[in-house]
């Protein structure tokens, strides 16, 4: 059986995941199929109709085991060659830790960390030399963020895991890139809550540009993709300033108190 060359994208029904689906289908002509994963069935069908590329949809909740079983079963059935895996599924919830609902806190960990880890694990046997993994983290990964504590911590996990896997998988010719944007103009903030200060609002960027750079950085085998001077500068500051200073600054900016 000839292996089917595919790219897999989670969180493909909206935001950056959807943008990855659109750009990958235009840029990579050597793929046979695009596999897209998300909860919202209608959104996936719309995407499938929009793209002129062969698309296989997997509608399901990445916080449930059955969706991974479906993907793994199809990978085995097609003896797939996963040329690219994009983990774009995730969400955040702003607010003081004590006030955010525990289901939301746990959900962020389940989707942002556990689901991403599972997807990499089941795809790992189907990667080959030259395969790419893009994990959508966040500039929030660079430092603790009072007022966005669990989300930032979950993205720090994604960032750290990506850098470790990059070293582990290098000998197999598999390249991993952590995508770390700042605020992106997507539906993300409809669930997370509005941006707490004008600076963050002023540096919001388009998903199109973030994804374009991320794909270019993946081709260049870069370990981290950060879009824009503002976020690159913020990353530089987190390397220079003590974490206690950064958390105090972030806490003040987000106007967070203990309760």
pLDDT in tens, 145-166: 899 999 999 999 999 999 999 9
Domain residue extents for the chain: 5-253
Question: Higher-confidence residue: 234 or 252?
Answer: 234
Nearest to 183 by CA among 223, 234, 248, 134: 234
pLDDT of 242: 73
Evaluate if residue 244 carries a pLDDT over 90.
no
Class for domain 5-253, per CATH?
alpha beta
pLDDT of 255: 63
Compute the average pLDDT of residues 115-142. Answer: 97
Compute the average pLDDT of residues 217-222. Answer: 97
Evaluate if residue 258 carries a pLDDT over 50.
no
Confirm if 51 and 30 have CB atoms less than 8 A apart: no
Tally the C-alpha atoms within 13 A of residue 125's C-alpha that lie toward its C-beta: 9
Q: Rounded distance, CA 224 to CA 141, Å? A: 12
pLDDT of 191: 63
Average pLDDT, the chain: 89
Evaluate if residue 194 carries a pLDDT over 80.
no
pLDDT of 233: 82
Compute the average pLDDT of residues 125-151. Answer: 95
pLDDT of 207: 93
pLDDT of 84: 98
- What confidence category does residue 257 fall into, taking pLDDT thresholds of 50, 70 and 90? very low
Confirm if 43 and 187 have CB atoms less than 8 A apart: no
For residue 194, the Cα-to-chain-centroid distance in whole angstroms is 20
Q: Rounded distance, CA 19 to CA 149, Å? A: 27
Pairing of strands 55-59, 81-87: unpaired
Maximum pairwise Cα distance, the chain: 60
Question: What are the percentages of helix, strand and coil residues in the chain, rounded to 5?
Answer: 55, 15, 30
For residue 102, the Cα-to-chain-centroid distance in whole angstroms is 22
- What confidence category does residue 25 fall into, taking pLDDT thresholds of 50, 70 and 90? confident
Instruction: Note the pTM of the prediction, 2 decimals.
Output: 0.89
pLDDT of 200: 54
Span between the terminal Cα atoms of the chain, in Å: 60
Confirm if 6 and 81 have CB atoms less than 8 A apart: yes
Indicate the helix (H) or strand (E) that contains 43. helix 41-50
- What confidence category does residue 192 fall into, taking pLDDT thresholds of 50, 70 and 90? low
Per cent of the chain over pLDDT 90 is 70
pLDDT of 253: 66
Q: Rounded distance, CA 232 to CA 236, Å? A: 6
Nearest to 21 by CA among 194, 171, 211: 211
Residue 64 CB partners (closer than 8 Å, separation 6+) = none
Pairing of strands 55-59, 132-136: unpaired
Q: What is the pLDDT of residues 54-108, one digit of tens each?
A: 999 999 999 999 999 999 999 999 999 999 999 999 999 989 899 999 999 999 9
pLDDT of 13: 93
Compute the average pLDDT of residues 100-127. Answer: 97
Pairing of strands 33-38, 175-179: unpaired
Neighbours of 100 (CB within 10 A): 19
Evaluate if residue 232 carries a pLDDT over 50.
yes
């Amino acid at each position: 059986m000839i292996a089917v060359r595919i790219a897999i994208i989670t969180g493909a029904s909206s935001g950056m995941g959807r943008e990855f689906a659109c750009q990958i289908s235009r840029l990579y002509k050597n793929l046979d199929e695009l596999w897209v994963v998300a909860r919202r069935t209608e959104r996936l069908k719309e995407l499938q109709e929009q793209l002129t590329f062969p698309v296989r949809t997997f509608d399901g909740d990445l916080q449930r085991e059955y969706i991974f079983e479906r993907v793994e079963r199809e990978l085995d059935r097609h003896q797939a060659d996963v040329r690219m895996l994009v983990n774009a599924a995730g969400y955040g919830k702003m607010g003081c830790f004590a006030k955010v609902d525990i289901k939301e806190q746990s959900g962020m960990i389940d989707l942002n960390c556990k689901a991403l880890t599972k997807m990499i694990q089941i795809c790992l046997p189907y990667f080959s030399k030259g395969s790419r993994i893009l994990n959508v983290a966040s500039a929030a990964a660079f430092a603790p963020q009072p007022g966005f504590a669990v989300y930032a911590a979950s993205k720090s996990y994604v960032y750290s895991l990506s850098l470790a896997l990059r070293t582990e998988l290098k000998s197999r010719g598999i390249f991993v890139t952590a995508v770390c944007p700042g605020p992106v103009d997507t539906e993300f903030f409809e669930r997370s809550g509005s941006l707490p200060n004008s600076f963050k609002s002023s540096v919001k960027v388009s998903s199109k540009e973030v994804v374009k750079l991320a794909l270019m950085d993946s081709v260049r085998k870069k370990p981290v993709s950060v879009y824009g001077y503002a976020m690159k500068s913020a990353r530089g500051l987190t390397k220079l300033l003590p974490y206690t200073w950064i958390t105090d600054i972030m806490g003040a900016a987000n106007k967070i108190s203990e309760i």
